[in-house]
């Protein structure tokens, strides 16, 4: 495994400045935003695919620093009922896959997407209940009419270009846990796997280690985000985990995203890293920062320090040494 970072947290810096920070922190790999919700501050596939000089300069920035690209990310909603949004996110996904193929990156990270409740919807509808009967009917329509047909087409597209997609399970989209991720993979094909982010599982009361082991049995864990979540026990006891208050309302929310170690301690992250090791994961541990209580630089360095202590570096005989 290689410790890396999702470089969108340095989106206010040039690519070279961002990579210098990565190199100075002793990291070996980066995940680069290429469109969708993370934006494309460091990588615009549309431009790079058309301009060979700019593409060479882009690649040289990594080569000169000995840094690899773990994945290109274009988290979006290609199933959005607003066709302008859906087409834009789909186009960005296609362009990102083509760029990944061209530069030898095997993984693109995105979301599954979420349709509306019918052909007349204006906004996505995330189904979270089994009753009234409208809910399961909407869910069946979404999967049968929108989700599976779209991702079957993308499975063929991905296969033809030798790239795989790591879908990030995320509440608000049709894939939000292991069950839905594996349903998508079983329905559409094995170019489709998971970008595993524990922060989205914690507040849903899931155990990341159990989830990692299950995905390992299906060879479905393609990429990994290192991000933490802190749960407020009093607010959760009062209101539950489905919290629609703004992330900036930290005092009153049931949970918030935190820097690694500020939601769960080092021992928990050692459990997670060990579980990744057990299933044979050899990819990136990509630090993501969305902690509203801590600056980017401080959160990044604290995450690096803790994860460097957790990563398993070598095997000597039958002993594992951290």
How do residues 262-272 score in pLDDT, each as one tens digit?
999 999 999 99
pLDDT of residue 316: 42
Residue 259 is given by DSSP the state -
The per-residue pLDDT for 318 is 44
Tell me the CATH number at 41.
3.20.20.150
C-alpha 149: how far from its chain's center? 22
Share of the chain above pLDDT 70, in %: 97
Residue 227 has pLDDT above 80, yes or no: yes
- On the question of pLDDT at 319 being above 70, the answer is no
User: The tokens of 65 are what?
Assistant: 């620093």
Distances (CA, A) of 92 to 54, 89, 109, 144: 18, 5, 12, 24
What does the pLDDT read at residue 313? 60
pLDDT in tens, 64-109: 999 999 999 999 999 999 999 999 999 999 999 999 999 999 999 9
**Per-residue H/E/C for 154-209:** HHHHHHHHCCEEEECCCCCCCCCCHHHHHHHHHHHCCCEEEEECCHHHHCCCCCHH
Report, in this order, helix, strand and coil percent for the chain, each rounded to 5: 45, 15, 40
Mean of per-residue pLDDT scores for the chain: 96
Question: Bridge-partner residues for 164, per DSSP?
Answer: 107
- Which tens digits make up the pLDDT trace of 182-213? 999 999 999 999 999 999 999 999 999 999 99
Q: Which residue has the higher pLDDT, 321 or 254?
A: 254
Question: How many structural domains does the chain have?
Answer: 1
Count Cβ neighbours within 10 Å for each residue of 7-39 and write b for 16 or more, e otherwise.
bbbbeeeebeebbbbbeebebbbbbbbbbbebe
pLDDT beyond 70 at 317: no
Instruction: Give pLDDT tens digits for 125-157.
Output: 999 999 999 999 999 999 999 999 999 999 999
DSSP state of 143: I
Confidence category of residue 18, pLDDT binned at 50, 70, 90:
very high
Q: So what's the pLDDT on residue 315?
A: 46
CB within 8 Å of 312: residues ≥ 6 apart: 1, 273, 274, 277, 320, 321, 322
- Is the pLDDT confidence value at 222 over 80? yes
Residue 246 scores a pLDDT above 90: yes
pLDDT, tens digit, 9 for 90 and up, residues 21-72: 999 999 999 999 999 999 999 999 999 999 999 999 999 999 999 999 999 9
Query: Is residue 321 scored above 70 in pLDDT?
Result: no
Q: What is the CA radius of gyration of the chain?
A: 19
Residue 162 is predicted with a pLDDT of 98
> What mean pLDDT is predicted for residues 314-321?
43
Residue 320 has pLDDT above 70, yes or no: no
Domain holding 201, by residue range, is 2-321
């Amino acid at each position: 495994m290689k410790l890396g970072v999702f470089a969108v947290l340095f989106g206010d810096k040039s690519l070279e400045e961002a990579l210098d920070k990565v190199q100075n922190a002793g990291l070996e790999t980066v995940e680069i935003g290429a469109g969708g919700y993370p934006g494309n501050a460091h990588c615009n596939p549309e431009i790079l695919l058309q301009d060979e000089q700019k593409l060479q300069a882009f690649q040289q920035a990594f080569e000169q620093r000995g840094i690899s690209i773990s994945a290109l990310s274009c988290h979006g909603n290609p199933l959005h009922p607003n066709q302008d949004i859906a087409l834009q996110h789909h186009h960005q996904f296609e362009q990102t896959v083509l760029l990944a193929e061209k530069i030898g990156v095997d993984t693109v990270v995105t979301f599954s997407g979420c349709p509306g409740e019918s052909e007349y919807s204006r906004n996505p509808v995330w189904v979270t209940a089994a009753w009234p009967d409208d809910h399961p009917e909407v869910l069946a329509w979404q999967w049968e009419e929108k989700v599976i047909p779209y991702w079957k087409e993308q499975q063929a597209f991905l296969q033809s270009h030798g790239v795989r997609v790591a879908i990030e399970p995320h509440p608000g989209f049709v894939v939000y846990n292991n069950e839905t991720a594996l349903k998508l993979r079983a329905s559409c094909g094995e170019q489709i796997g998971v970008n595993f982010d524990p922060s989205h599982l914690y507040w849903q009361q899931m155990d990341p280690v159990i989830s990692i082991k299950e995905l390992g049995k299906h060879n479905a864990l393609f990429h990994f985000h290192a991000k933490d979540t802190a749960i407020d026990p009093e607010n959760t006891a009062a209101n539950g985990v489905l919290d629609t208050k703004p992330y900036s309302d930290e005092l009153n929310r049931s949970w918030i995203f935190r820097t690694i170690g500020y939601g769960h301690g080092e021992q928990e992250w050692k459990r997670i890293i060990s579980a990744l090791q057990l299933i044979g994961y050899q990819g990136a541990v990509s630090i993501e920062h969305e902690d509203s209580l801590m600056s980017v630089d401080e959160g990044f360095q604290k995450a690096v320090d803790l994860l460097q202590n957790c990563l398993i570096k070598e095997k000597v005989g039958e002993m594992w040494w951290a």
